[in-house]
Amino acid sequence: MSAQIASSSELRAAYVKGIANTQRVARKVILTVAEGVNPGDTERGVCARIDRELRTQYRLGYYPNPRGPANTYRSIEVKVLDNYKARHRKTYLTGPQ
């Protein structure tokens, strides 16, 4: 089995995709933390909050059955225990069948 070497355009595309994903995550974290930042917070406190936020995220998924018509909006409701908080999309657009 021989190893394949990626072309420069393939490497550039992977790099750009990686940067875009990193920027997307960074924007999400900044917006999340900004919700709870107070003028008196220290840099260490804000960093600790970011660390906690990144370590306590979960991703939920489901496949609706029946699926519903294509190109329609469906609502999402997430319920958690009282001492937890869930941030989630409120709706999603169904894809083609």
Each residue's pLDDT tens digit, 36-58: 667 777 778 777 877 887 788 77
Q: Give the β-pairing of 73-75 and 91-93.
A: antiparallel
Distance CA 61, CA 75 (A): 14
Look up residue 49 and give its DSSP letter. H
Each residue's pLDDT tens digit, 69-94: 888 898 989 898 988 888 888 998 88
